[in-house]
Amino acid sequence: MGDDLLLSVQDLRTWFHTDEGVVKAVDGVSFDLRRGETLALVGESGSGKTVTSLSLLNLVPPPGRIAGGRVRYRGQDLLRLPGPALRAVRGDRIAMVFQDPLTSLNPFLRISTQMVEALALHRGLGRRAARARAVEMLEQAGIAAADRRIDQYPHQFSGGMRQRVMIAMALSCDPEILIADEPTSALDVTIQAQILELIQDLTRRTGTAVILITHSLGVVAGVCDTLCVMYAGRIVERGPTAQVFAQPMHPYTRGLIGSVPRLDRPGPGRLVPIPGQPPVLADLPDGCPFHPRCPSAMDVCRRRYPGAAAAGGGQEAHCWLHLEAP
């Protein structure tokens, strides 16, 4: 691994065995994350983004199981680490901000108790030093009167403030990687912008790499370096964010971009929704799973899943439009 390569995910597969059949929530996902990079996993609900993020730290709940692949961090495969070694990485070297801060924070414990516990566990700090560090992080996260509010309970904070607490807690141990799962989904537009700016500012100061999971391309436009578009458990397109926005290769990516308001184009424009619904993962169609909704579908799309087609500059897409059909 190169000196700046922090995380390498290779052919990650996470399956759920249900009464309806095997749900391949993540089916062959691969990507690299480098120091200081912000990488986005984007797609509709059910595309596999959250399960991918949980799989990285082996947090998949039953009946799910990781069916294969590797998640290499600093030469170690996290999927094969024993429990104590993996717990030492979670929350310390790799931290996660979960989707709903209200359910992620313990409602019966003060914020101080929850933050001090993490710092004592991973940094070995005494209570006084851990509390001082927690207050410092809350202040950096934009929480006024942090030395007083740290002793309050989660329900005494607004949704935006709870998310700031989660970000402060996640970054308090100076992790190398921050995984943020839909950190703005339950917030209004103004607070969304503040939270994204906060993540950018704090991670820029610390050099932390970020994996941002979201269903909104509008969220990642000015924030992320690399964009990975997911559909039916697979990454269908990846590349530098600006390049993917300027010249999307996959019809699904074009559909996502076309359904988002654009301020960089003249006139009001018309938003064009993607027709149909995402597929049922327990009953995927043959070939490319997007073909029932794709305006450019060909016969080969219904028969075989395409390999990767490169466009230069690190951009590639799994689409027969850019490959020679067999």
Q: What is the pLDDT confidence band of residue 6, given thresholds at 50, 70 and 90?
A: very high
> Tens of pLDDT along 278-296?
999 999 999 999 999 999 9
Q: Which residues contact 131 (CB under 8 A, 6 or more apart)?
A: 112, 116, 150
**β pairing state of 21-34 and 5-18:** antiparallel
**302: which 2 tokens?**
């219904």
Asked whether residue 217 carries a pLDDT value surpassing 80, the answer given is yes
**β pairing state of 64-73 and 5-18:** antiparallel
CATH for the stretch 5-93+175-322: 3.40.50.300
Global pTM reads 0.92
The average confidence (pLDDT) of the chain is 91
Q: What is the pLDDT confidence band of residue 265, given thresholds at 50, 70 and 90?
A: low
Asked whether residue 2 carries a pLDDT value surpassing 60, the answer given is no
Determine the pLDDT at residue 267.
61
| Whole-angstrom distance, CA of residue 284 vs CA of residue 27 | 12
| Whole-angstrom distance, CA of residue 21 vs CA of residue 321 | 31
Determine the pLDDT at residue 23.
95
> Tens of pLDDT along 226-260?
999 999 999 999 999 999 999 999 999 999 988 87
Burial 108-135 (b: 16+ CB within 10 A, else e): eebbbebbbebbeebeebeeeebbebbb
